[in-house]
Chains A and B, each alone.
Chain A
Amino acid sequence: KAGVTQTPRYLIKTRGQQVTLSCSPISGHRSVSWYQQTPGQGLQFLFEYFSETQRNKGNFPGRFSGRQFSNSRSEMNVSTLELGDSALYLCASSLTSGSAYNEQFFGPGTRLTVL
């Protein structure tokens, strides 16, 4: 079974631009969560989607948004990029949401560099 795939793997943007990252969950998984990983802040939860609905949201500004499609694939968008948005963006998929033991499987991440 293929794992979580994320595209692109690397991205370089300049301040003020916007970016869209894509995540394909493990086949059969319906929940997708996004995390930002930086050396200073570590792994921080961005948002979770299940059945095309945002279920949870972390403490990030409105410039960070996401969506999920009917095939469970998810995208996240960051508008008006800032230097501090440089990070590894990780997507994690799980079978369902609302499970008492919600194992999450991470993709390799997209490395975003903002110049």
Chain B
Amino acid sequence: QQQVKQSPQSLIVQKGGISIINCAYENTAFDYFPWYQQFPGKGPALLIAIRPDVSEKKEGRFTISFNKSAKQFSLHIMDSQPGDSATYFCAAGPGNTGKLIFGQGTTLQVKP
């Protein structure tokens, strides 16, 4: 009930392509779904987050799609750039606490 499953584990995309990372959760009490980006030697940085009252949120080249009935959400990176090469984590949690359950991470490589 507390798991967040993330796929794929790794992803290689050509520059300019679309990167898609998927996550699924089990606990219907979760109401906050952030995505984090982590570069080697750094802490995770918040990219974009969504609440279940909307089905999509877009910020620049990053879009979260959310399917409440399927308990799934995904991150789309449009026009992927080599600088986007990093590890991406989805997370979920009740928005009224600091407890986030993280997916296992996706290592994205964008080839020039």
Contacts and interface: CB of A to CB of B under 8 A. Distances in A.
B102 A42 contact: yes
Interface string B66-107: 000000000000000000000001010001111111111100
A44 B99 CA distance: 9
Contact residues on A (Cβ < 8 Å of other chain), bracket: 20 to 34
| Chain B binding surface SS class | loop
Contact residues on B (Cβ < 8 Å of other chain), bracket: 20 to 34
B44 A56 contact: no
B97 A43 contact: no
Contacts of B43: 4, 90, 92, 106-109
Contacts of B100: 33, 35, 43, 45, 104
B62 interface: no
Interface centre among A97, A100, A107 (most CB of B within 10 A): A100
B41 interface: yes
A48 B99 contact: yes
Interface of B: 31-32, 34, 36, 41-46, 49, 51, 89, 91, 95-105
Given A33-B100, A92-B98, A100-B96, 9 more contacts: A35-B100, A35-B102, A42-B89, A43-B44, A43-B89, A90-B43, A103-B46, A107-B43, A109-B43
Interface of A: 4, 31-33, 35, 42-45, 48, 50, 55-56, 58, 90, 92, 94, 97-109
